[in-house]
Amino acid sequence: MDGAPWSFRNHPLILRRLESGDIPHEVLLNHIIFWVQVFNFPLGGFKEQVGMMLVNFIGHFLEYDKMNKDVVWRPYMRIRVEVGVSLPLKHWKNIKLGNQINLLVTEEEGDWRITGFYGYPERARRRLCWGLLRQIAGSNDLFWVCIWDFNDLLVDDEKRGRVPHPNWILQGFRQAVLDCKLTDLLLEAYKFTWSWGLHDIEEERLDRAMQNPGWLVRFP
């Protein structure tokens, strides 16, 4: 309902709008709506798509607060999510590492990890990014998915434009991904995620989601 979440004397109220034909005493009140705040995220990552991926494991994504982009001093993303009250709340452990955010998710079925990875755009710092990715992978023995803006390409056809991508960068990023035992999740969208220019347009696939071998077993 509009305006949720509601509370009375600091206790949450679970409300549901009745639809035509509903029998009131048979309506299930088993979901509650919260505003979730995601802290310590780089300003460049304040995007609705990133917010959706971060909160969908808590419950059902409902709304992205448009003020996230307009209020420059806000230190968090604010996202509205619907949560089932019959299930235990999931806990986040936030670990900040450079331009990366690591979230350890604790569930009854077992722990898993999601990483929001932002690759440095400067070519001189590419090897540093690849080292950070290997460092995260080396400290992880859980089901793992790594998402966001890597600022890197795996193959030539992930770029369209006049200037080819340097081969040493393609090879370096590919090797880092192989060392981390990561593979791409299926992309069901337009191939390129970044573009620049008005006439001679350049397009690249800089954003992606990758998983380790156990991820699809845990989340088929």
pLDDT reported for residue 98: 54
Joined tokens for residue 168: 């040493």
- The candidate with the shortest Cα–Cα distance to 209, out of 145, 158, 152, is 145
Per 3-state DSSP, what percentage of the chain is helix, strand, and coil (rounded to 5)? Answer: 25, 30, 45
pLDDT reported for residue 19: 85
The structure tokens 């998402």 sit at 147
Cα–Cα distance for residue pair 170/75, rounded to 1 Å: 34
pLDDT reported for residue 208: 92
pLDDT averaged per 10 residues, the chain (length 220): 72 82 85 78 62 73 78 71 77 56 80 89 90 89 91 94 92 97 88 86 92 87
- Please, which residues have CB within 8 angstroms of residue 62's CB and are 6 or more apart in sequence? 33, 80, 81, 82
